[in-house]
Amino acid sequence: MYMNGVAVSPLRTLRRLGVLAVVTATLSLPLAGVASAAPATAEAGLCSVPVLSQLCPPKTVVLDGKRLLLNRLALLLGDKTTKASLASLLKQADVAVKAGPWTVVDDDRVPPSGDKHDYISLAPYWWPSKPKTPDNPQGCPYIQKDGVLNPETTTGAPDKAERLTAFSSIYQLSLAWYYTGKAEYARRAALDLRTWFLDPATKMNPNLNFAQGIPCRTDGRGIGIIEFSYTFTQVLDAAAILNIGAPGWSKADDTSFKSWSGEFLNWLQTSKNGKEESATINNHGTMMDMLVAGTALYTGQTAVAKDLVEKAKTARIDSQIAADGSQPQEISRTRTFHYSTFNLVAFTRLAQIGRHVDVDLWGYQNPQGGSIFKAVDFLLPAATGGGSQWHYPDLNFTQYAALDSVHAAADAGDRDARAALPNVPTPPSGDLYPVRPAAEQLDDISTTPPNP
């Protein structure tokens, strides 16, 4: 886009057009079914009117609701980047609208509690060390092979795989409804949410007591909480989007899901597993902070969220990012690029939560000179030039894994990241960041095929 002969960012241009243009874009969307939906909030004025509530930015916890409104305007104006990104999102949403719903209770494996409403998963990098026999059917003891996925952890306890699909689908469907106004997307997202979290027959209990257990060793571990980390905050954003008046999602649904989320937050803060995960000093700790802060913000505990994001400056950035931008705890692993990008998913999302509570994580620089910006810039040579530019071992280097973090840094003002973006490859599913502008893990080990 050009103004006075100078190339400028379409998003920056849209921000200058003001609220009136955003309102125009919003009113252009199909609103069938919205008038009959219960108001999603109790706010006075415009946002409490079911149809007009769509003029208000969603109260998202990671995503920027105002940015989503601007995206609507970009689509109305025919912005090519936004349209291409939405087309990729809708391909996934069109699959999701016909799939599911998913539930923890359909798992054949019974949790140690005996309650099938408890989530259960197995540690991905632990393997049996002995042949399986009638006397030792699980091949115990298990040994760790860092970075090497045991496929039985996916097939033997399917809650993890179903959770990933369910949460991603809820997120994609809510965004698809937001941008197109098609009621079927919202209704399916609402059904999937109720099935996993709210319906008495199918809902998950609000704990992760049995996440990432190791056969013959432990029923569950604190580090298993990472399986919810950023994906649960996607669900929180999805619910916030539906709360602006989506068909199929009621005020009672909103109240019930906030209650479930509040119980889950209490478990995260007070359980043995939760305390152990908070005490970790690598990507697990960053992901935990992001999960707790996002859940606190969603449930109205803004002070808790703000305090956690503020403390992350010294508790996370000081100890995890070196002066040159490398992440020492992550480059000591067997999948160094993967874990460096993964930790940045947590840092960039936490920084976005920070903007909602007036804490600037992007601008913070630790005493050594390290910062989130520097951590992203450290990845740029490999993100643009490939594995030959990454000088650490990685069992499955995936170049596009850095894309979302580079996007996030560029949005936050990193000129080097912005210049690098055209040279970072996109994943096979396309570049979704423009329409869901927050970082995701693009190379999940359970879904990303090994490089040849």
* Domain at 380, CATH number: 1.50.10.100
Q: CA–CA separation, 127 vs 447, rounded Å?
A: 19
pLDDT at 223: 93
- Does residue 212 contact residue 122 with C-beta atoms inside 8 Å? yes
Provide the residue type at 4 as one letter.
Answer: N
Provide the token pair at 242: 């539906």
pLDDT at 45: 57
Provide the token pair at 237: 């954003």
Q: What are phi and psi of 143, to 5 degrees?
A: -125, 155
Q: Name the one residue in this structure whose structure tokens are 């149809």.
A: 51
Q: Report which secondary-structure segment, H or E, holds 297.
A: helix 283-298
Kindly state whether residue 294 falls inside one of the protein's structural domains.
Answer: yes
Q: CA–CA separation, 204 vs 197, rounded Å?
A: 6
Kindly state whether residue 383 falls inside one of the protein's structural domains.
Answer: yes
Domain count, the chain: 1
pLDDT at 31: 36
In 3D, which of 350, 223, 360, 365 has the Cα closest to residue 297?
350
β-bridge partners, 144: 126
Kindly state whether residue 433 falls inside one of the protein's structural domains.
Answer: yes
pLDDT at 50: 61
Kindly state whether residue 316 falls inside one of the protein's structural domains.
Answer: yes
- Does residue 246 contact residue 231 with C-beta atoms inside 8 Å? no
pLDDT at 155: 76
Q: What number of other Cβ atoms are within 10 A of residue 47's Cβ?
A: 19
76: left (phi over 0), alpha (psi -120 to 50) or beta: alpha
- Which residue range forms the structural domain that includes residue 311? 280-452
Q: CA–CA separation, 199 vs 191, rounded Å?
A: 10
* Spatial CB neighbours of 258, under 8 Å, sequence gap ≥ 6: 298, 299, 300
CB neighbour burial string for 82-104, b if at least 16 within 10 angstroms, e if fewer:
beebbebbbebbeebbeebbbbb
Kindly state whether residue 100 falls inside one of the protein's structural domains.
Answer: no
Give 49-52's long-range contacts (Cβ < 8 A, gap of 24+).
Answer: 50/245, 51/245
Report DSSP state, residue 28: T
pLDDT digits (tens), the chain, 452 positions: 433 333 345 555 454 444 444 444 444 444 333 333 333 344 445 666 666 666 789 999 999 999 999 999 999 999 999 999 999 999 999 999 999 999 999 988 889 999 999 999 888 888 888 999 999 988 889 898 888 888 887 777 788 889 999 999 999 999 999 999 999 999 999 999 999 999 999 999 999 999 988 888 888 899 999 999 999 999 999 999 999 999 999 999 999 999 999 999 999 999 999 999 999 999 999 999 999 999 999 999 999 999 999 999 999 999 999 999 999 999 999 999 999 999 999 999 999 999 999 999 999 999 999 999 999 999 999 999 999 999 999 999 999 999 999 999 999 999 999 999 999 999 999 999 999 999 999 998 765 545 54
Q: Give CA 318 to chain center in angstroms.
A: 24
Q: CA–CA separation, 284 vs 123, rounded Å?
A: 14
Kindly state whether residue 35 falls inside one of the protein's structural domains.
Answer: no
Q: CA–CA separation, 285 vs 279, rounded Å?
A: 7
Kindly state whether residue 306 falls inside one of the protein's structural domains.
Answer: yes
pLDDT at 126: 85
Q: Please return the burial class of 209, using the count of CB atoms within 10 Å of its CB with bins 0-12, 13-18 and 19+.
A: buried
Kindly state whether residue 333 falls inside one of the protein's structural domains.
Answer: yes
Q: What number of other Cβ atoms are within 10 A of residue 122's Cβ?
A: 24
pLDDT at 2: 34
